[in-house]
Amino acid sequence: MSGRHLTRTRVTLALVAALADGRLVVGPDGSPPTTELPPDEEQSSAVRRLEDRLGLSHDAMPRMAACDLAGGENDTVTEHRIMWRGPLPASWTAPTPYRTVPVGQALAALRQREAGRVRAACRAGLLGDTVRLHCGRRPGIRPSKAERTGARFAWHPAIHVPEGHPVRQVWGWLTDPDGRVLVLLDRFGAPSLPGGQPEPGENWADAMAREAAEESSACLGAPVLLGFQQVDEHNQAPYAQLRMTAPLLGLGPAAPDPDSGETYRRVLVPARQANLLLGWGPEGDAQVAAVTDHCRTLPSAALRCVPERGWAPASAEEVPGQVSGPRARPGR
C-alpha cells in the first residue's frame, strides 16, 4: 500500500446567475458566488446556500452547466462545478455585497481559467446543455484570436471608417421582429456572428448579405453600419472589422458553408442576452448596446433554436423552405 499514489479531489461550486438584460451577479472579488462542497454535503444543499446568499427562492433548482477538472498542489485535483440560474428578471436587485455587471465586463475582470468556466457556463446555460472542461477550456474549441495572436480589440461606434483602417471583415447583428439576433454555433459549440471577408470589388452591404446567406441561408433587409472594431495585432498595422445590423427576413434550410464546409447550428437569442452566448469582452457589451439602441424597442421573445428546415417570421408570407437562397460570389 505504501507505493500507491493517492489523489484527492477538492470540489468547488459556483452559481452563475444571469439577468435577462445580459448582466451577471458577482461578489466583491468579481467572481460569481462560490462555495466549497465538503465530501459529506449534498450538492443540492450547497446550491441552496448560494441561493440564500442572493435571496433567491428555491422554486427551481439550478442546473449544472459546466464542470472543469484542474490539477492542483499536493496530489489534489480540483473539480469546479458551475451551476446556472437564469435568466432572472432585469428588475432583480442583488443584495449587498453582491452586484450585477454586464457579462463582458465580468469576464474581463476574471483570470483566464475562471473566465473560461463562466463563459462556458453562460453558453451552456442558455442552450440547456452541460459541458465538460479541462483547465477552463472545452476540448476541441480553437483558441480565440486574442489568445492566438495577442490581438487587442477596441469598439468604435461610427457611421464611417477613418482613413488608414483597411476593412478586412464584415460581420452582422441580424435582428428578427421579436428582438432576437442570429448567432451561429460550430460543431464544437463555438459561437459567432454571420460574416466574413469582402470579395474584391464588393461593397460592405453586399458582402454582409452574401456571407450571411452562405453561412446561414439568411435573407436580409438593408444592412446599416453600427461601427467598427479596431484590431491591433503584433507586427501588423491596425485594421477594421465592421459591425452592421440588418433585419432578418428569414432563414432557409441549413446548408454547408462553401468556404469551411461547416453546417452551423443557428440560434435566435434575445439581443440583450447575446453576449452571454458570444462571451466577448466589454466590446461585446458595447455592440449589444449599439444594436439595442438602433432597434429602439425590442420585444422580449425567448431564445429559439432554428430547425434545420429553416425559419420565417410569423408575419412573413413565404414558408421557411422558400426563403431566398445564397447570392453568388462576384465572378462565379
E runs forming strands in the chain: 8-19, 23-26, 34-36, 63-71, 76-88, 99-102, 131-134, 152-157, 167-175, 180-185, 191-192, 195-196, 218-220, 224-232, 239-251, 265-270, 304-305
Domain for residue 239, yes or no?
yes
Task: Kindly state whether residues 178 and 298 are assigned to the same domain.
Answer: yes
Q: Do residues 108 and 282 make contact, with C-beta atoms less than 8 angstroms apart? A: yes
Domain for residue 2, yes or no?
no
Q: Do residues 155 and 283 make contact, with C-beta atoms less than 8 angstroms apart? A: yes
Task: Kindly state whether residues 179 and 43 are assigned to the same domain.
Answer: no
Please state the domain count of the chain: 2
- Check which CATH number belongs to the domain holding 53 and give it: 3.90.79.10
Domain for residue 68, yes or no?
yes
Task: Kindly state whether residues 226 and 275 are assigned to the same domain.
Answer: yes
Domain with 160 in it: 145-322
Task: Kindly state whether residues 206 and 243 are assigned to the same domain.
Answer: yes
296 contact partners, CB below 8 Å, separation of at least 6: none
Residues of the chain with pLDDT under 70: 1-7, 72-74, 145, 147, 297-298, 315-332
Task: Kindly state whether residues 161 and 189 are assigned to the same domain.
Answer: yes
Task: Kindly state whether residues 201 and 113 are assigned to the same domain.
Answer: no
Mean of per-residue pLDDT scores for the chain = 89
Q: What is the pTM of this model?
A: 0.89
Number of Cβ atoms within 10 Å of the Cβ of 149: 15
Domain for residue 243, yes or no?
yes
Task: Kindly state whether residues 107 and 158 are assigned to the same domain.
Answer: no
Task: Kindly state whether residues 261 and 304 are assigned to the same domain.
Answer: yes
